[in-house]
C-alpha cells in the first residue's frame, strides 16, 4: 500500500463516511452490475455474453431449490436446481455433533419459522457453469455444477450459519456473511477456497463490493431472533454498523452507527440495523430500511447525514403488534431502484404489499397486494421492472417501475427469498434428478 493511499485512508477515517466516499472508500455506481446487485438493488448491467442467456434465480429457502425464470414480465419457468444434493450427508454430520445439532434446531425454530433454511443467496460464475449458494441451516457455501447438478465444492463458514453474499465485479470471488461468527469470508468462486476474511459488527447481513472491487461494504443487523425488542433493550442486539473494509488487507476503513445518525436528524429510538439498501446513480444518496420501521431512510453520503425519512402504510393487522411479534425484526425487507434512479420499489413485508415510490417526491403508486410476506426486491437487467418475492404465497411478481402495476407473476418453490439476475448457457435445462 502506498504512502498516499495510507494517508487518504487515515483522512477518510477522520472525515467519516462522507470522507470515505470523497476519497474513494465507497464507490458504488448503479451501473456497476454485480456490485449494485450485491446490495439487493440491481440486476446485471449488461446482457449475458455469447452462448449465454439472462435468467432470474429465485432461492426457495425451505425447499432447498433454486427456481430459474426468464427475467421479464413473462417470468417463464426455465427449470429448477436442487442445491442440497448432499443433504443426507450433511444431516448425518449434524446429528453426530451436539453443538451443531443444537444450532441447527435453533435456526429451524428461531429464524426458519419451524423450517430448515437451505438456500439464502446465490450467484453464478461469469460463464454460468457454477451456481454459488449460501445454505444457512447447513452453515456453508457450495458450488453447484449447473449442467449436472453435482456438488463441486463446499466451504464451512465460521460459526453456525451462513447468510447474504455478494459477488466481486470481476466475478472471481464471493463475500459471505457468517452471521453467528461476526465474520465475512471471501471465497474463490471456482474452488471454494478462502481468500481472506474480516470481522464485522454483530450479525453481518448485507455485503457489497465497490465498483473497482477494492473494498467491501457490510451492514450488520445484530441478534434479530430474541424477544428483547423493546427500544430500551436495543443494546442487547449487539454493536451494528455500516462498515467499509479493504478487500485485500481486511483493514476496517470506516464504521457508521445509523441509529446515532437517525437520532441526530431528529429520529430517536430507531434501530441501527440496516436491512436492504440501494444507491442513487450519482452515488450520493443511500436508501435503506431499518428494523421495525415501515418505510425507508434517505442518507446523504457526501454530507454524512440522514436527509429524509418516509413512512409507508401499515396494514391493520400489524398496527397493534408488539415488536417481538415482528418477523425477525423486519417491518420492511426489500428495496430496489430503477435504472435511471427515479423510482424505488419497496417490499412491505409485515403489511403484505409491494409498492413503487417516486424518489423525488416520495409519493407512492397504489399498493400491490397479490401475495403475502414479500421478502425481497431486485430490478431487471434493463432497469424497467422490479421483481418481488412473496415468501408467504410462493410466488414472484414483476412490477413496472413506470406505473407501479403488477405486470407478471409466477409460482416458485417453498418460501422464496433472495433473487438474483444472472446467466446460464443458452441451451440450459434442469439437470436430471
What is the tens place of the pLDDT at every residue in 64-91? 999 999 999 999 999 999 999 999 999 9
Cell of 248: 485485500
Give pLDDT, residue 257: 94
Helices (H), 62-206: 87-95, 98-106
- Do residues 180 and 223 make contact, with C-beta atoms less than 8 angstroms apart? no
Mean pLDDT, the chain, whole residue set: 88
Give pLDDT, residue 29: 32
| pLDDT above 70: percentage of residues in the chain | 89
- Do residues 348 and 312 make contact, with C-beta atoms less than 8 angstroms apart? yes
Give pLDDT, residue 20: 55
pLDDT of residue 10 exceeding 60, the answer is no
Stretch among 1-15, 176-190, 343-357 having the lowest mean pLDDT: 1-15
If DSSP codes are grouped into helix, strand and coil, which group holds residue 106? helix
Give pLDDT, residue 39: 40
Give pLDDT, residue 273: 93
Give the C-alpha distances (Å, rounded to integers) separating 301 from 42, 173, 214, 287. 19, 27, 19, 10
If DSSP codes are grouped into helix, strand and coil, which group holds residue 126? coil
Residue of 195, 254, 193 whose CA lies nearest to 219: 254
β-pair partners for 185: 176, 197
Cell of 35: 456490485
What is the tens place of the pLDDT at every residue in 325-363? 888 888 999 999 999 999 999 999 999 999 999 999 999
- Do residues 192 and 176 make contact, with C-beta atoms less than 8 angstroms apart? no
Average pLDDT over residues 381-401: 97
pLDDT class for 5, splitting at 50, 70, 90? very low
pLDDT class for 239, splitting at 50, 70, 90? very high
Amino acid at each position: 500500500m502506498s504512502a498516499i493511499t495510507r494517508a487518504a485512508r487515515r483522512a477518510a477515517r477522520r472525515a467519516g463516511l462522507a470522507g470515505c466516499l470523497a476519497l474513494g472508500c465507497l464507490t458504488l455506481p448503479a451501473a456497476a452490475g454485480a456490485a449494485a446487485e450485491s446490495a439487493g438493488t440491481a440486476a446485471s448491467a449488461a446482457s449475458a455474453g455469447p452462448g449465454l442467456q439472462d435468467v432470474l434465480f429465485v432461492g426457495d429457502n425451505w425447499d432447498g431449490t433454486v427456481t430459474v425464470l426468464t427475467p421479464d414480465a413473462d417470468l417463464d419457468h426455465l427449470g429448477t436446481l436442487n442445491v442440497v444434493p448432499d443433504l443426507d450427508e450433511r444431516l448425518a454430520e449434524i446429528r453426530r455433533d451436539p453443538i451443531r445439532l443444537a444450532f441447527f434446531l435453533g435456526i429451524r425454530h428461531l429464524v426458519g419459522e419451524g423450517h430448515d433454511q437451505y438456500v439464502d443467496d446465490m450467484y453464478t460464475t461469469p460463464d454460468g457453469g457454477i451456481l454459488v449458494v449460501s445454505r444457512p441451516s447447513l452453515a456453508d457455501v457450495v458450488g453447484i455444477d449447473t449442467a449436472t447438478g453435482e456438488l463441486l465444492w463446499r466451504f464451512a463458514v465460521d460459526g453456525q450459519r451462513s447468510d447474504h453474499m455478494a459477488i466481486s465485479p470481476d466475478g472471481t470471488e464471493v463475500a459471505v456473511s457468517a452471521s453467528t461468527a461476526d465474520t465475512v469470508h471471501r471465497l474463490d468462486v471456482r474452488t471454494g477456497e478462502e481468500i481472506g476474511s474480516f470481522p464485522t459488527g454483530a450479525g453481518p447481513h448485507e455485503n457489497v463490493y465497490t465498483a473497482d472491487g477494492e473494498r467491501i461494504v457490510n451492514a450488520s443487523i445484530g441478534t434479530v431472533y430474541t424477544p428483547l425488542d423493546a427500544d430500551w433493550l436495543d443494546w442487547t442486539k449487539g454493536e451494528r454498523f455500516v462498515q467499509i473494509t479493504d478487500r485485500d488487507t481486511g483493514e476496517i476503513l470506516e464504521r457508521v452507527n445509523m441509529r446515532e445518525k437517525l437520532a441526530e436528524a431528529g429520529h430517536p429510538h430507531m434501530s441501527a440495523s440496516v436491512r436492504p439498501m440501494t444507491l442513487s446513480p450519482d452515488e450520493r444518496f443511500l436508501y435503506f430500511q431499518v428494523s421495525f420501521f415501515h418505510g425507508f431512510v434517505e442518507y446523504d453520503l457526501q454530507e454524512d447525514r440522514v436527509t429524509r425519512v418516509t413512512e409507508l402504510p401499515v396494514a391493520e393487522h400489524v398496527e397493534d403488534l408488539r415488536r417481538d411479534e415482528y418477523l425477525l425484526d423486519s417491518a420492511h425487507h426489500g428495496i430496489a431502484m430503477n435504472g435511471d434512479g427515479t423510482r424505488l420499489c419497496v417490499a412491505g413485508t409485515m403489511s403484505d404489499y409491494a409498492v413503487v415510490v417516486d424518489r423525488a417526491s416520495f409519493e407512492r403508486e397504489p399498493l400491490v397486494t397479490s401475495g403475502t410476506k414479500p421478502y425481497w426486491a431486485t430490478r431487471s437487467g434493463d432497469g424497467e421492472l422490479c421483481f418481488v418475492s412473496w415468501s408467504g404465497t410462493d410466488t414472484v411478481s414483476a412490477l413496472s417501475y413506470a406505473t407501479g402495476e403488477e405486470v407478471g407473476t409466477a409460482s416458485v418453490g417453498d418460501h422464496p427469498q433472495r433473487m438474483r439476475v444472472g446467466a446460464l448457457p443458452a441451451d440450459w435445462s434442469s439437470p436430471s434428478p
